[in-house]
Structure 1
Amino acid sequence: MRTLQRGLQPLYTPFLHPKHSTRISLSPATANPAWTRFFHASASNRALDLAYNLHDSKGRSKGPPIIILHGLFGSKTNNRSVSNAFSRILSRPVYAIDLRNHGCSPHDKTHNYTALAEDVEHFLRKHNLHDATLIGHSMGAKTIMTMALRDPECCDNIVAVDNAPVDAALASDFPRFIEGMRKVEEAKPMSQKQADQILEPYARELAVRQFLLTNLIRPEPSEPLRFRIPVRILGDSLDNMADFPFTDPDQARFSKRSLFIRGTRSHYVADETLPIIGRFFPRFELVDVEAGHWVISENPDAFVKTVVQFLQDKD
């Protein structure tokens, strides 16, 4: 596929430095549950009701639904413009979701890909959504891959943006971001400028700080700012975000169409991971878009064109 290219400056920079594992088979993966049980949380996890925005061109979009998931520390508002574009171009309703512990969705101490997947499965059942396209960036990409491998009948196809079904080591910078956000909360800042000054020693790049600080809210006019995301829970879950719950492609496979989009300046989907992607997702297509890790914000035109072409292609 050919894509448009735009030289936009990234809104924020990657937080993870992947060290892709080339292991294919370790321990047996979780068996695929039957469709009748697909949306039920396991005994160890409680599915949460997720906040969302519906983009349906004022009710004119009537096709199969599209579900779009953000990355770590993001929210449904990150995907507002591309969601509107998909709804308008494809005449399909688009549900932009806040994953657990993000945006306006509930908080829970359990934050791993199984729990994230179960929440979205519950969302599909609650809203009676079938034959959906699942789109996810980074953390959202691993979430939709988990869903597809848990039960291929949950969706019609997937679009995974700049992540792969492998384990990836966290960058040493990442705990510093968490520490900085905790320092902000402890200081109880009254202004965005004060919060930025506190965070600066822990996140030197302005774009990174601006992105992290989008999560600041003021509960009441006279109260200090605080993060709407549970910083401590997410900090304790960093290792979970590096993992992937499936390790054996012989135990779980998604044989429907899948699109993997990677940024040309990103290292999240290294060439050595492609054989593993092919074993988990044997019908996958790969498209490189001129961007870093934050493909959607850095090059939205190319991203939208690539996804639209994939979804308009027929078998």
Structure 2
Amino acid sequence: MANDVIQFLEDQHLEKPIVIGHSMGGKVAMNMALLHAPLDRVIVVDMAPVKVKLSSDFARYVVNMKEIQLANVKKQSDADAIMMKAVPELGVRQFLLTNLKRNASGDGYSFRIPLETLGGSLEKLGQFDFVAGQDRYDGKALFIKGNRSGYVKDKEEKLIKEFFPQARIEGLDTGHWVHAQKPEEFLQLVTDFAVEE
């Protein structure tokens, strides 16, 4: 996936972009940096440079999104009502439902992401194939973790610095969905980092 994004940047003639990724996107951002893509800086949200077993929450989200799609909901509020059973936290539901789009026919909603592909790839999403001390990115990096998430443990901060020596690590009082649970604080961290010299 990182190679696909690198190719997209090249195709679009984007020079030295700032790349940001959350969770699986954070893995993509780290991979891009460690593959030496020409980045200005990288922002990784609630993911560490380690192999992880993804929480069962992700599989539950995909199953629930498939249920919504099969229900052929006519209103977003109907999708929210179905999702509420599996995802009680409003901010997480709202974030997941941003992937919902009106069908081309206009008579209902479906998800814009390939749920079958995503569901079938969850096992692979936790992989990380780089070696500390051997692979590194010397550019600017910001890691934003959810202090209540568990995806970036305190002991992994040293490992982050081995891969990303210039990394700054910030924590917000959130679970895994940092940007959905503390959007203002998250945006401030990202904006400040993006404009700093």
| TM-score range normalised by the length of the shorter chain | 0.7 to 0.9
With over 3 angstroms needed to count, the CA separation of the structure-2 counterparts of 1:256 and 1:224, relative to structure 1, is: closer
User: Residue 184 in 1 paired to residue 68 in 2?
Assistant: yes
Distance apart, 1:255 and its partner CA: 1.7
**Cross-structure match for 2:156:** 273
Q: Distance in 2 between matches of 1:271 and 1:299?
A: 20
Q: Structure 1 unaligned runs (5+)? A: 1-114
**Cross-structure match for 1:212:** 96
Q: Distance in 1 between matches of 2:88 and 2:43?
A: 32
**Which stretch has the larger CA shift, 174-183 or 235-244?**
174-183
1:90-130 per-position Cα deviation (integer Å, ceiling 9, x unaligned): xxxxxxxxxxxxxxxxxxxxxxxxx2x12221222122222
**Cross-structure match for 1:171:** 55
- Identity in percent: 40
1:144 aligned counterpart, secondary structure? helix
1:11-36 per-position Cα deviation (integer Å, ceiling 9, x unaligned): xxxxxxxxxxxxxxxxxxxxxxxxxx
Q: Distance in 2 between matches of 1:142 and 1:225?
A: 29
Give the aligned CA root-mean-square deviation in angstroms. 2.5
Relative CO higher for 1 or 2, CA cutoff 8 Å, sep ≥ 6?
Answer: 1
1:120-151 per-position Cα deviation (integer Å, ceiling 9, x unaligned): 21222122222222222222221111001011
TM-score w.r.t. structure 2 length? 0.83
AA aligned to 2:139 is K
**Cross-structure match for 1:226:** 110
**Cross-structure match for 1:287:** 170
Which protein has the bigger helix share? 2
TM-score w.r.t. structure 1 length? 0.55
Q: Distance in 1 between matches of 2:71 and 2:159?
A: 45
Tell me if the contact between 1:179 and 1:202 (Cα under 8 Å) persists in the aligned partners: no
User: Residue 134 in 1 paired to residue 7 in 2?
Assistant: no
AA aligned to 2:57 is D
With over 3 angstroms needed to count, the CA separation of the structure-2 counterparts of 1:161 and 1:225, relative to structure 1, is: closer
Q: Identify the match of residue 260 of structure 1 among 143, 148, 163.
A: 143
Q: Distance in 2 between matches of 1:228 and 1:289?
A: 29
1:148-204 per-position Cα deviation (integer Å, ceiling 9, x unaligned): 1011x5213212122111122222233222222222222323333443444444334
Tell me if the contact between 2:91 and 2:180 (Cα under 8 Å) persists in the aligned partners: no
Tell me if the contact between 2:45 and 2:178 (Cα under 8 Å) persists in the aligned partners: yes
Of structures 1 and 2, the larger Rg is shown by: 1
1:154 aligned counterpart, secondary structure? coil
**Cross-structure match for 1:296:** 179
Q: Structure 2 unaligned runs (5+)? A: none
With over 3 angstroms needed to count, the CA separation of the structure-2 counterparts of 1:312 and 1:218, relative to structure 1, is: closer
